[in-house]
Amino acid sequence: MQLKKLNIALFPVRYNDKYYSDALASGEFTKLAYYSDICVGAIACRLEKKEGGAICVYIMTLGVLAPYRGLGIGTKLLNHVLDLCAKQNISEVYLHVQTNNEDAINFYKKFGFDITDTIKNYYTNITPPDCYVLTKFITQPQPKN
């Protein structure tokens, strides 16, 4: 329920039950962030099977309450997921960002995400309705011979 409360405060979109069941199903890939006992941020992911059976991670949401931004909480949450990907040989992480959300786009670019697609009219009740798909391909450490 903490995740639901946070999302209501953070995002202009209401998430359905499937979002929450996917978040729970992803296990360690969904995390809440606390700052002195207050839940101030969260990352929620969904694990997806690609053609060929490889798993990729879709970041459904990553958010930190405004007064707690700039403290490295979002960075910690994102790094947590990227580290898990590396440990579990997951080579692709992607997400959607509203095209006018420059703060988010710049944040993800710092971590090596690139805009790989634009989807027109992705969002139904917010303006602009378009989104970018940001993707990061994680190169797995090669075993040393």
In the residue annotation, 58 being an active-site residue is answered as: yes
Q: Which member of 15, 20, 35, 58 is catalytic? A: 58
In the residue annotation, 96 being an active-site residue is answered as: yes
The whole-model pTM stands at 0.92
Give the per-residue pLDDT at 141.
Answer: 60
Integer angstrom CA distances of residue 79 from 18, 82, 107: 25, 5, 12
DSSP 12: S
Give the per-residue pLDDT at 144.
Answer: 63
Q: How confident is the model at residue 140 (pLDDT cuts 50, 70, 90)?
A: low
Tell me the percentage of the chain whose pLDDT exceeds 70.
96
Q: Which member of 19, 96, 108, 132 is catalytic? A: 96
Task: Convert the pLDDT of each residue in 72-123 to its tens digit.
Answer: 999 999 999 999 999 999 999 999 999 999 999 999 999 999 999 999 999 9
d(CA 109, CA 125): 26
Task: Convert the pLDDT of each residue in 17-61 to its tens digit.
Answer: 999 999 999 999 999 999 999 999 999 999 999 988 899 999 999
DSSP 138: P
Q: Which of 92, 25, 36, 89 is nearest to 67 (CA)?
A: 36
Integer angstrom CA distances of residue 118 from 81, 114, 130, 131: 24, 12, 7, 6
